[in-house]
């Protein structure tokens, strides 16, 4: 089973209690349970983490640099729009897909939410589908992982034929 890390940033622990008209009634625990259930069916194992501290988020990203996970899904909350440190940490990840996720449509809100430092580095972005954004992001990661597998197979095949020709 491939392991996917899901990092949640500041204030996301208050989902279900906070600005319900924007983020909905679903709690982070409920999102975690639904996402885990969905992932299991497509043979992915997801680990959920949440912190209100930037340094903790950065340390979790560093675990991805060390190949502990096969994919990263990140909702950095308000740090999305401010944190060069989180962007730099993400830049250090070379081998695994990164998907940025948001519950709300950040482009339909205040101007300052339109800038995302995470988007500079992420392979793709999913936003605006409420709690369902997480499921869509898992689907996107699965797709990228499959593509990666196909790519690996292709290069293996290519190298084999190259070696045969040399002989």
Identify the residue among 35, 71, 77, 99 touching ligand DQA (CB under 6 A).
77
CB of 20 vs ligand DQA, minimal distance in Å: 13
The residue among 106 and 137 lying less far from ligand DQA, judged by its C-beta, is 106
Quick check: 75 binds ligand DQA (CB under 6 A)?
Answer: yes
Cβ neighbours of 114 (radius 10 Å)? 11
Q: How far apart are CA 68 and CA 85, in angstroms?
A: 21
Q: Which two tokens stand for residue 19?
A: 């600005």
The residue among 21 and 94 lying less far from ligand DQA, judged by its C-beta, is 21
Q: How far is the CB of 28 from ligand DQA (least distance, A)?
A: 11
83 contacts ligand DQA (rule: CB under 6 A) = no
SS3 (DSSP) at 52: coil
Do 80 and 108 meet the contact criterion of CB atoms below 8 Å apart?
no
- Considering only residues 39, 51, 80, 83, which one is a binding residue for ligand DQA as defined by CB under 6 A? 80
- Residue 102 annotated in active site: yes
Phi, then psi, of 110 in degrees rounded to 5: -65, 155
Taking the CB of residue 22, how many other CB atoms lie within 10 A of it? 11
- Within 8 A by CB and 6+ apart from 94, the residues are 65
Q: Which stretch binds ligand DQA (CB under 6 A): 42-50, 59-67, 87-95, 98-106?
A: 98-106
36 binds ligand DQA (CB under 6 A): no
The one catalytic residue among 79, 102, 117, 134: 102
In Å, how far from its chain's centre is CA 87?
Answer: 13
Interface with ligand DQA by CB under 6 A: which residues?
Answer: 11, 75, 77-78, 80, 102-104, 106, 113
């Amino acid at each position: 089973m491939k392991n996917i890390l899901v990092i949640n940033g500041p204030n996301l622990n208050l989902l279900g209690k906070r600005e319900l008209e924007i983020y909905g009634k679903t709690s982070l625990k409920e999102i975690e349970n639904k996402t885990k259930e969905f992932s299991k069916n497509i043979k992915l194992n997801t680990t959920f983490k949440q912190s209100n501290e930037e340094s903790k988020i950065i340390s979790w990203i560093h675990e991805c640099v060390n190949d502990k996970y096969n994919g990263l899904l990140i909702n950095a909350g308000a740090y999305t729009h401010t944190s060069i440190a989180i962007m730099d940490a993400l830049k250090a990840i070379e081998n695994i897909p990164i998907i940025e996720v948001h519950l709300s449509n950040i482009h339909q809100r205040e101007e300052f939410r339109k800038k995302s430092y995470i988007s500079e580095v992420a392979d793709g972005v999913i936003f605006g589908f409420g709690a369902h954004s997480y499921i869509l992001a898992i689907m996107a990661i699965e797709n990228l992982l499959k593509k990666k597998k196909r790519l690996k197979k292709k290069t293996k095949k290519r190298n084999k034929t190259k070696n045969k020709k040399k002989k």
